[in-house]
Amino acid sequence: MKIAVLGATGWVGSALVTEAKARGHDVIAIVRDPAKLTVKGVSTRAFDLHSSAEFSPVVEGADVVIASISGRAAGNHELVAQTAERLLIALADSGKRLLWVGGAGSLEVAPGVELVTSPEFPAEYKDEALAQGEALNVFRSSKSNTQWTFVSPAAVLYRGESEGDFRIGGDAFFTNNNGESKISVTDYAKAMIDEAQHGKYLNQRISVAY
């Protein structure tokens, strides 16, 4: 399988590239600055989301596109939902599936009540969480025939190796036996590449946590 990763130099994106490559997939790393890509043995294509260039050519030949997008660095959180809409349109009728690195803020702590609205939610991540929630709404309301999967991590997504088994949930926020909601980026990448390979959760949001 050929997997294109948009945002391949980010810490989540690079974990996705590493996991896909370890499983023997051909990887297309789509980045704004190819010089920043440190993983060897992957194809590199340059693309700037701030440009109006056509997206289709940079994913030519890919079976699955995984997008790892954040507006945190530049504070342009509107880019997240805009990119979701842009990719859904660009990939329409192509047969390529779109997988999205989502956020935990839109997970429900009670029916219709999102985690991001809880008083304990960290203020420094709120804008990012709201942006990802807007992207999820774009996916759910889209009329594009692009098949998509929005993959929310646990509340705490951290750099680290695999810790073993993880669980796949849906819209409901869930925790482990210690009341923790967490997942390492390595295990998150495993869950994402599992979905890239098997396409089990089409046109829906899933969540990943221990």
DSSP single-letter state for residue 61 = T
Buried b (16+ CB within 10 A) or exposed e, 132-147: bbbbbebbeebebebb
| pTM check: above 0.85 | yes
Parse the chain into domains and list their residue ranges.
2-209
pLDDT in tens, 32-71: 988 888 888 899 999 999 888 899 999 999 999 999 998 6
Cβ-defined contacts of 159-162 (< 8 Å, 24+) = 159/11, 159/184, 159/185, 160/184, 160/185, 160/186, 161/186, 162/186, 162/187, 162/190
Residues β-bridged to residue 44:
29
CA 144 to chain centre: 18
pLDDT confidence of residue 70: 85
pLDDT class of 192 with cuts at 50, 70, 90: very high
pLDDT confidence of residue 11: 93
Task: Indicate the SS3 state at residue 178.
Answer: coil
CATH superfamily of the 2-209 domain: NAD(P)-binding Rossmann-like Domain (3.40.50.720)
pLDDT confidence of residue 73: 61
Q: Among 7-11, 76-80, 201-205, which range has the highest average pLDDT?
A: 201-205
DSSP single-letter state for residue 3 = E
Rg (CA), the chain: 16
Contact 153, 132 (CB under 8 A): no
Return the sign of the alpha-carbon dihedral for residues 139, 70, 59, 190.
negative
Give dist(CA 157, CA 132) in Å, integer: 15
